[in-house]
Chain A
Amino acid sequence: MTRDTLAYEAHQSFLRHAKVALMSRLFPAVRDKVAAAAAQGLPNDPLEADAVVLERLGDDPGYRFYCWLERYIQFFKYRSRHGLAAEAADPEAPYRAWLAEPGAANLDLAEVDVPAYYAAVDTHQHPGNLHGDDLAGVVYKLSAATTQPGSTDSYGLHYRFADWVAPRIDAPSRIVDLGCGFGKSTLPFAERWPDATVEAVDLSAGCLRLAAREATERGCANITYRQRDALATGYEDGAFDLVTSTMLLHEVDQPTMPDLHRETFRLLAPGGWLVHLDFKGRDAVEAFFLHGHGVRNNEPFMAAQDMDDTAAALSGLGFADVSIVPFAEYDGALAPDNRSWRLPWTVFLARKPAAA
């Protein structure tokens, strides 16, 4: 390791180990306390249930330290002088060379209006948010490797998702990935169905540049990345037989969510499939931690998304075969004896009727 990168690598390693300790060592005891509080009975309203759990936890120091560490490990990961933002901005670092040149055949950049609700927060505590500048994609990519250190990496979870989807749908020939980020969710679908035409859209030019470069490097020639709003993509009606997204739902403001659902229905050809990968608590305990995580990690729509009746919204638009299924992001993730912290990954699957 060179001297130039030693401080950055050491600091990130320190924070990664701190997060592993938080997830696998500190969290289980805190979870037991929350489960014990929930077992005494809770109101049906999820937010009232959260309030009751908090009241029963009282001033529990383990819970408080868990919350503090969850927020501030992430804070220092991004914003310390050895953090991701400083590393990406280092003029001697290689990251600027990662960005595709404008005009690349698989990249279509165009100014888009970023929704005010999205621009108002530094999502994930990412300085300037994911659309902030060209280096935002680099920072996001560096960050994604440690979302759940030790259990998932930047891409493994997404290949698992494509593996999960494949046997449950008809093989698609036209795919669109909404909110594709730096392409980690697009590549597994494009590689699984190499004869399919794959479109991928995102608000962030920085993420799209990175995605386009990586697809080229991997020889993945069936993807085109376009800078567009997932809520108004501009594609023709019925243009796709698979519409997918990963970690998009919880970043959409609830008043805007019907627009997203309508757009996905419009984009699908009759008989086409909709598959979102996002989060939903399986019970009051998972919901409690998910709602808190949303606040502590600057993902302000997480609680509302968790409480949203997505199945009813999709069915109301005409989708059929709607199912909402917990997703194991690694082997054993959903096992009852898994006591480590995890996000409650969930698949939202639906089909546009053939006669629609």
Chain B
Amino acid sequence: MANGETGGAGREDIDRRVEAMFGRPLLGDARLDQMMGVILALAGEVAVLRAQVAELRAARGPEAPRALPAEAVDRDMGAFVEELFRPLLHPDFDPGAGGTAASRLGDTGGRR
């Protein structure tokens, strides 16, 4: 960034201003930050469980190796993240039709 344009701001002033602009809460509400933290923690635990289940299944195969290759774990995590983050990564992510049941079913109420 071009420098020397800080209006004479001192270090403490810079620190205070950047913290105020970019600090928490990051989702606009500290409770949302915390709840998203719970969700990401859960997702991390699911990721670990996926790997552990995959290793157990691999170990039961007749000629399967006893340990799961790191590459297999990594490949599965890529697929898991793609699915998990789908609502964030696809701007056109559509959870489906909205509205009330009555408005979707029309005058017949679903009866034919």
Contact = CB atoms under 8 A, between A and B. Distances in A.
Interface of A: 1-3, 6-7, 9-11, 13-18, 20-21, 25-26, 29, 44-48, 50-51, 54, 59, 62, 64-65, 67-68, 71-73, 75-76, 80, 82, 253-255, 280-284, 286-287, 290-292, 294-296, 300-301, 303-304, 306-312
Contact of A21 (B15, B41, B81): B81
Given A10-B73, A26-B88, A68-B26, A47 B52 contact: no
Q: Which 5 A-B pairs have the closest CB atoms?
A: A10-B51, A287-B1, A14-B47, A295-B22, A17-B81
18 contacts: A6-B67, A10-B47, A16-B77, A21-B88, A26-B88, A45-B5, A50-B22, A62-B88, A282-B1, A284-B1, A290-B1, A291-B21, A292-B18, A292-B22, A295-B21, A308-B3, A309-B4, A312-B4
A50 B21 contact: yes
B44 A295 contact: no
Overall SS of chain B's interface: helix
Nearest to A313: B3
Contacts, number: 165
Interface of B: 1-7, 9, 11, 14-15, 17-19, 21-24, 26-28, 33, 36-37, 40-41, 43-44, 47-48, 50-52, 55, 67-70, 73-74, 77-78, 80-82, 85, 88-89, 91
B52 A7 contact: yes
Contacts of B15: 300-301, 303-304
A21 B85 contact: yes
Contacts of B21: 47, 50-51, 54, 291-292, 295
A64 B26 contact: yes
A25 B27 CA distance: 19
Contact of A6 (B23, B26, B51): B51
A7 B17 contact: no
B55 to A, nearest CB: 6
